[in-house]
Each structure stands twice: as C-alpha cells, then as structure tokens.
Chains A and B, each alone.
Chain A
Amino acid sequence: MSDPYLVLGVERDADDEAVHAAYLAAVRDCPPERDPERFEAVRRAYERIRTRRDRLAFELFATGLPTTWDLLQRIGSEDTSRRPDPEHFRALLRDDD
C-alpha cells in the first residue's frame, strides 16, 4: 500500500480543501501525459482520502502494510527541488567521505 497522505503530501488532519489543493498541485506536477504512473497513484490517493468520510474509512478499513516507498517517504519526504551539498557531493566523488 502507498499511504495516500504521503502520495499527496498532506498531513493526516488535512481537511477537504487541503486535500483537494494538494491533489491539484500534484496533478500539475505530474500530468498524465508526462508521468502516467505517478498521475495514477495521485488519482488513487485522492479518491481514498477525498472527503472526511473517506479519510475516516481509510483509518478504519485500510489494513495494507507500509511499502518501502511509504517508509522512505516518511523519512524526509523527497523534495525533488532539493540539491546536494557541493562539498558532500565532492567527497562522494573522492569516495573518502
């Protein structure tokens, strides 16, 4: 299972509006023609937690185990705009870090 909150990048106490906004932002980031796989994941995630009822139902009935992706996503959600530290990167090139 991929945690829909992580897919959309919203907190667990997000309301309908926040979920919707996150969905729109995610779709803008990965339109279906550019990244269909990711778009599908975003769409599925949105459907699972779209409304307050959906979110409560997710809490009650979702019994899937966290995936590797879920766990990694929890540890500092990936920020694709984040760039490496140049000195850390240089050290990795030397392989003596």
Chain B
Amino acid sequence: MSSKRRKKSQKTGGKKAASTDELVQRAEAALQAGRYRDAITDLKRLLKEESRPEWRTALATAYRGRASELADKGMLKEALAIWENRRQLCPDAPGVPEEILLLLRLGRTRDAMHAYRVARDELDPAELGELRAQVAAWRMGSKLALDEWLPDDDPLVAHAEAAETALQAYCAGDDDAASQAITRIPFRSPYRDWARVFKALLKGAEDRAAGADLLDRIPSGSPFADVAGAARLALLPETTCLQALVGRGAKEQRLVAALRGWPEERLTVLRELSTLRERPEPGQLLRIMNRHRDALGRDWVRRYALPLLVGQLPKGLDWPRQMGWEPVTAFEEALVLAWRAEEKGDLEGIFDAWMWVIDGLRQPSEPEPGSDDALRIALIQRHLDDRWKLAQRGWLSDEVVEQLEASLHYDPDHRPTYVGLVAHYRQNGDLKAARRLLQAALERWPEDLELLNEGVDLALASGALKKAAGYASRVLAVDPINRRARGRLVEAQRGHAHKHVRKGRPDLAAKALDEAREWVREAEAEARIDLARALMSLDEDPGSSRAAINATLERLGGGVTARLELAMEAVQQGRDPRALVKQLGHKKPGRPGQDDLMRLVDRLRQRSQHGEIPMQAINFLESAVRPPRGLDLSRDQYDRACEVLHGVGMEQAREAFAQAGIRQLGRLPILEMHRLEAKYAGPFRLASHNDIDRMEEALEAAEAAGDRRTATRLNDLLDRTTLGVAPEPMGLPALPDDLDVPVEDLDAETLLDLMRQYGGIPEELQRIEELLGRDQMLAILRQALEEGGAGPEQPKPKGGPRGGRPRGKKNKHKGGAAREDEPAGPREHDPGQGDLFE
C-alpha cells in the first residue's frame, strides 16, 4: 500500500472511530459555525447508521447553507447540484426561496415555477411573502411571463401588469399613468416596495423630503432595497448627489445615473475624478479634461486649461502643444502671466502684466470704443484701480489714474468711473480735472443724482458756494426728499456764513444762516446753525451767548462729539478753539465713555467725507480722544474706528485704539496693522526689531487667514519702515581701532566723515540719501546709533560677519525663494551676515 493510501485509510479509520454521539455533537457544532460542508459529511454518516427525521432536517439545513454559500460566490451550477442532493436526500424538506431564485437565475423557469408552486403550499405566510417579493424583483428585472406558469389569482401575476405599467409610464415621463398604476398595487402585493420606489421618485421631484420618507419605509432586506438606495441618492441635489456617488459601487452609480438621466460618459468622468485627491495636480486634471475634450467642448476645455498653467510656468505654456492642441496664443500667454502676477500679489508685477495684456488687445489696431476688445481694455484698467484701492498704495497711483481715465475712451458709458475719478481728483486737489470730468459726465447723465451730488461736493471744495447751491437745487428737483443734497446745501450756506464772519460781515453771515435754516430738516443740522449764530454773537453778548452755546452743545450730543462741533465751528469762524473753550469756561474733558467715543467716530466719518474738518480742530481734539478703560468693541468696530481716525489724521488716537483692541482681542493682524501703521505714520523712520517681528507675525497670520487687505498694507509698511528689501551688508570701511571715542558714541555726521575717510560711504546709505535726502539719511543713521542693539557695531574688517537678525528671516511675503524659472526678485538677506542696522 502506498503511503498516500495508507494516510487516507488512517484518516478514514480515524473518523470511523467517532461514536454516534461524537458525530452528532460535531455536526451540530459545524452547522452552528456555518461549516456546512463538514456538517453535511457528518450528517450523511449518521443517516447511514439510522434514518432519524431530526438528522434529515439538519441535513436539509446544511444543504441550504452550502448552496447559498456557493451561489453567493457565483458558483451557480455547483449550488444547483447541492439543491438537487437536498431534494434527493431530504425529499420532505420544504422548498425555499433561494433554490427557486437560483433556478430562475439559471434560466430553469419550469423547475423554478414548479418549486414555487410546491413552496406556496408549504411555506408559512411570512416566508411565502419574502419568496414572492424575491420572484417579483426577478420579474421586474427579467420581464418574465409569469402568467404562463402561474394562475391569474397569484399576486405575482395579478399585480405584475400594474408594476410593469408603473415602470414604463415613469420611464416615458407619463407621471399620471405611473401614479395610477401605483395605486393598483395593494399594500400586501409582492410589488409593494417597487411601487414605493416609483411613488418616491414622483413625489421627490416636488418634495425631496417626502420622497426620501417613502424610501425609508423600504426595509434593508427587501429585494428592492438596491433600487430604493439608488433612488434615495437620485433625489439628492446635484452637488450632494455627486459627492455621495463618489466611492459607491458601480451598480449603484449606474442605477443613480439612469434615474437622473445622465449619459454614460458622465459616470466615466466622475469615476476618473474620484480617483484624484482633493487638490489634484494640474496635470492630472488637464489630462482628464483632454481625454474628454470632445464631450466637454474644446473651447471650454481650452479656457479652463489656462488657469491650470499658472502654477506650471514656464513649462506649462507648452502643455497645450504637447497634447496636440493649438499652441498658446500671445494673448493667452499674457493672460496667464497676469494671473500669475495676481497670485504673487506684487502690485508692480500685476500692473506690468496687465499692461502687456492691454498691449496685446491693442494689436493689430486700436479697438473701436465700445467693442469687446475696447471693453476688455477698460475692464483691465478699472481692475488695476481696484487693486490699488484695495492695497491703498499711493506712489503708483498717477499711472493707475491715467489708466482709469484712459478707460473712459474705451468704455465711455461707464458712469461709476466718472464718479470715482471726479472724487479722486477732488480729494487730491486737482479741481480742474475734476470739473472737466464732471462736466463730461453730466452731459451724458444730466439728472444723475450721484454726479450732481459730486457736483455739490466739488463746488464746495472749490469754495464756489453758489454753484454748490445750484447743484443741490438740481438734486432736489430730481429727488425732493434727498437728505444728502439738502444737508450739503445747508453746509454750503453755513460755509457762506463762515466766509462772511471771517470778512467781518456778520450781517451777511446771519443772512446766509437764515437761508440755511430754510433748507434744514434735521435737528443736528439745526443745532449746528444755532451754534454758529451763538458763537457769532459771543463777543457782543457773552452771557446769553455762552448759555446758548452750552445748550446747543448738549443738543449736539455733548461730550467729545460736541467738542468736535465746537472746535470746527470756532476754526471756521476764524477763532482759536483753545482760546474759545477758555473763554467759555469749559474744563479739560475727562476720558470719554464708549458711547461718546463711538458717536465721535461716526461724526468724524460723516464730516471728513467732504473734507470739512480743519486740521486745527483735529489738533485741538486729538488729546481728548483716548479709549476708555474696559473698551468693549468687536474687531470690525475697532477696524472702522481706526480707519476713521487714520482718515482724519489722528494717528496717536488710532494707535491708542488699536492698542486697546489688542488688549481686548489679542494680537489680531488687523489691529497690529493699525497700531504699527499709526506708530510709523509721518516722516520716515526705521522700525524697531520688535516691531518688525510683530509686523512679520501679523503678516503671516493675515496671509494664513486670507486677509489680503491687511497683508498688503503690512507688506507696504514693512517696505516703508525697512526700505523695501533687507538692507544688504554694507561693507563698512574698516575704521581705525584707536579712535578717541567708541563708534556708538560718535554723532552721525562724524561717523559719515570717518567712513568717507576710511573707504567710502556704504552704498546702502548712499541709496537712502538718494531716495530720501541727506537729512533723512542722517536721521536714520542717528536713529540706528541711538537704538541699543540696533546701532552700528564697531566696524569689522570688510566682508566680515556682523551678526544680528535682518528683516526677511521670517518674512515670506515676497513669495519665498525665487523659482529657477523666473528672474530673482528682491534679494533676501543672507542670515549669516548682518547690516548696519542690526
């Protein structure tokens, strides 16, 4: 005997050795554990010993489990063989749905229907219900003609026609017919869940929640659960549905796509997109777009491919050609470069890049005003203005304003540009240019309220009070309840009155105030006229005038706000506000309360809009504008207050406000920006190390939060207070070691003389002198000498390390290290070397 046979014999011999009890226990355990094959073996052995009914029932159960196991694995024929064994060895066991379904799947309809008829008499109602639902689902998927096999009164046959009609009518878009068919399917029908699916789809089109509710009633074990799940997704809004579909099985995706009426290619694209990460590489996205470009539309793909090139310059410009598209045109290239400049945020770069786009649009010939290209040029020119306004940069504004004015040639119908330019010229004192544009605009839009109001402001700014009144009357002719024009008219008359007071004509001043009174509608404006009148008579009748002034100040809100009104009125009448308050016997004001202060901020904002607040009044008031202890404002309120104070030139007060904000809310970038801008307002001076650190921290935080406005302003501030780029090592001349006094004790002029004597003035200082003049350069040198650790060290041998931390070590606002493919930007400081100011 071979060893193989011997082993088999031993194995078999081992099993024979098991007792009946042991076999029973083993079979039970195998059955419970779902090891159906082992259970079948043991139970068959037991049945050979004795045909006990309970063992045969157990064998039938084991066969059922095994057959289902094989069918689930797709081994349908093997599963069928097991069912046949079951029928032979357990003839009394009732038919079960799985066998019938397997027969149907194998196309053995006759056997399946026979088994169904047998099962119908044997199964309990619940099991029969489940079987019928399964067969119903098969029927709907296969269009099986059940009436050929089953009697008409069987529910599977009786309700099949209604179920089929529901499907056909729904697919044909005949919702009424579908609804009627659904009503013919009773609650206990095997097609009940099918009917619910279509009812939900119909209802969900109008009321998504109601549709979803119906679908929720379909149990997870229902043979219609898959289609119900797909219908649930199909009812979702587009975006949600797309998100939900990613990662789902192919069958479910296709069912949803079918229910939503999608073409197949949509699913393909969805699947391809779902393999990408949340932020796909531009190349990946481009490849998908390229693969489906016929379906997506070639022009569309080309337009959306362009932004993908921005991060891939300069190689990206060659991508279209590599993919067999037309090469990038000069216009497209200019556009991509402009977007790139926008991304980098460098204003000069943005300006140059967009100018290149404009140049392209002006080729081969100047576009006709109003044409698409002309409008494109005008849009770019206005865009530049927006960018500059956002960044609040002044030094390039002439070029931007020039562009903005040029935009009116290309797009002469853009009214907001006229309004903006008139205001800009007025605010910058170029009243002639403002009048020219206003005139041109009013010829186009003679009744435009915004332009007429601008006319009022412009006339007031020119001191042409009658003209202002004329414009205001035109506003009121168009809009009789226009508060702004009325207010401006009253102000114009008040201005007239002030002029007369200063010329020593109180009679005419009183007349102007009377005329102002005619127009006035608001209590505040009325109080202002009364204040003017009382102040005019102060010298003649001090007693009653003083009382009248005090009473009027109360009407104007009292506190620091009324003090502003008093100071303004005093200055406008040619009085010194300080002398006036003394004359009135007013005490020095205490720290204003929060409400008073916020009222003042509002008043400053209103009055400064028209340049009405004289500097003398601001100077008089500023010391009184101190934030009270425990000031409790929101971030936006602080920002607004700081902007207003900045606008009227109260930088000290602004710094104090920002400081109070930082105490309350922490070092928010916007508050840091206000504090530091205020601190370094006025004549140029270098920021301290500590402040540079704070600016850089705030800049990083602003950039991280996407706050472009604050980031741009901090960038400007850094440039302004550190000369734009980190000063390079200066290569200070080696001064003799035997100087009479230490270098840090030298005054700036002496140090300069010594430098000149021993090797020349460093280029950096020369540059500062060129930019800012000799006095500023000396001031900077002096400041550097005065600042403890920031003063120049004892000059070391040329090129030697000077230590210290230059600006730029932390700051990445210039866009980080220069890319290999682009020219090097401003040189970053070499941390290994110091400079004069370190």
- Chain A residues numbered 45-97 whose CB sits less than 8 Å from any CB in chain B: 52-53, 56-57, 59-61, 63-66, 68-72, 74-76, 78-86, 88-95, 97
Q: Are B171 and A83 in contact (CB under 8 A)?
A: yes
Q: Are B141 and A94 in contact (CB under 8 A)?
A: yes
Q: Are A86 and B168 in contact (CB under 8 A)?
A: yes
B451 on the interface (CB 8 Å rule)?
A: no
A16 on the interface (CB 8 Å rule)?
A: no
Q: Are A95 and B258 in contact (CB under 8 A)?
A: no
Q: How far is the CB of B696 from chain A (nearest CB, A)?
A: 28
Convert B409-424 into 0s and 1s, putting 1 for each residue whose CB lies closer than 8 angstroms to a CB of A: 0010010000000000
Give the residue name and chain of the A residue nearest to B282 (CB): A65
Quick one: given A37-B237, A66-B289, are A80 and B260 in contact (CB under 8 Å)?
yes
Quick one: given A63-B342, A75-B263, A90-B142, are A83 and B173 in contact (CB under 8 Å)?
yes
Q: Are B296 and A75 in contact (CB under 8 A)?
A: yes
Cα distance A37–B236 in the bound complex, in angstroms: 12
Q: Are B242 and A72 in contact (CB under 8 A)?
A: yes
Our pick among B173, B226, B372 for the contact of A56 (Cβ within 8 Å) is B372
- Chain B residues numbered 239-265 whose CB sits less than 8 Å from any CB in chain A: 239, 242, 251, 254-255, 258-263, 265
The bracket for how many chain A residues form the interface is 35 or more
Our pick among A68, A78, A92 for the contact of B254 (Cβ within 8 Å) is A92
Residues of A within 8 A of B266 (CB): 72, 75-76
Residues of A within 8 A of B239 (CB): 37, 69
B310 on the interface (CB 8 Å rule)?
A: yes
Cα distance A12–B18 in the bound complex, in angstroms: 83
Q: Are B376 and A60 in contact (CB under 8 A)?
A: yes
Total residues of chain B contacting the partner, CB 8 A: 59
Cα distance A97–B142 in the bound complex, in angstroms: 12
- Chain A residues numbered 28-51 whose CB sits less than 8 Å from any CB in chain B: 35, 37-38
B137 on the interface (CB 8 Å rule)?
A: yes
Q: How far is the CB of A81 from chain B (nearest CB, A)?
A: 7
Q: Are B269 and A71 in contact (CB under 8 A)?
A: yes
Our pick among B273, B303, B376 for the contact of A71 (Cβ within 8 Å) is B273
Q: Is the interface of A mostly helix, strand, loop or mixed?
A: helix
B304 on the interface (CB 8 Å rule)?
A: yes
Residues of A within 8 A of B258 (CB): 84-85, 88-89, 92
Cα distance A90–B229 in the bound complex, in angstroms: 16
Residues of B within 8 A of A95 (CB): 251
Quick one: given A53-B375, A78-B238, A94-B142, are A89 and B171 in contact (CB under 8 Å)?
yes
- Chain B residues numbered 279-297 whose CB sits less than 8 Å from any CB in chain A: 282, 285, 288-289, 292, 295-297
Q: How far is the CB of A38 from chain B (nearest CB, A)?
A: 6
Q: Are A56 and B265 in contact (CB under 8 A)?
A: no
Quick one: given A63-B342, A79-B261, are A35 and B237 in contact (CB under 8 Å)?
yes
Q: Are A52 and B375 in contact (CB under 8 A)?
A: yes
Q: How far is the CB of B200 from chain A (nearest CB, A)?
A: 15
- Give the interface centre of A12, A79, A82 by most chain B CB atoms within 10 Å: A82
Give the residue name and chain of the A residue nearest to B340 (CB): A63
Q: How far is the CB of B82 from chain A (nearest CB, A)?
A: 23
- Chain B residues numbered 296-329 whose CB sits less than 8 Å from any CB in chain A: 296-297, 299-300, 303-304, 307-308, 310
Cα distance A94–B227 in the bound complex, in angstroms: 11
Residues of A within 8 A of B296 (CB): 71, 74-75
B167 on the interface (CB 8 Å rule)?
A: yes
B172 on the interface (CB 8 Å rule)?
A: yes
Cα distance A41–B339 in the bound complex, in angstroms: 25
Q: Are B205 and A80 in contact (CB under 8 A)?
A: yes
B584 on the interface (CB 8 Å rule)?
A: no
Q: How far is the CB of B805 from chain A (nearest CB, A)?
A: 37
Cα distance A64–B295 in the bound complex, in angstroms: 21
B143 on the interface (CB 8 Å rule)?
A: yes
Our pick among A63, A80, A88, A92 for the contact of B310 (Cβ within 8 Å) is A63
**Chain B residues within CB distance 8 Å of chain A:** 137, 140-143, 167-168, 170-173, 205, 226-227, 237-239, 242, 251, 254-255, 258-263, 265-266, 269-270, 273, 282, 285, 288-289, 292, 295-297, 299-300, 303-304, 307-308, 310, 335, 339, 342, 357, 372, 375-376, 379-380, 383, 411, 414
7 additional contacts, CB 8 Å, given A38-B238, A65-B285, A83-B171? A66-B304, A69-B238, A74-B295, A74-B297, A75-B263, A80-B261, A93-B255
- Ranked 4 nearest A-B pairs via Cβ: A82-B261, A93-B141, A84-B258, A76-B263
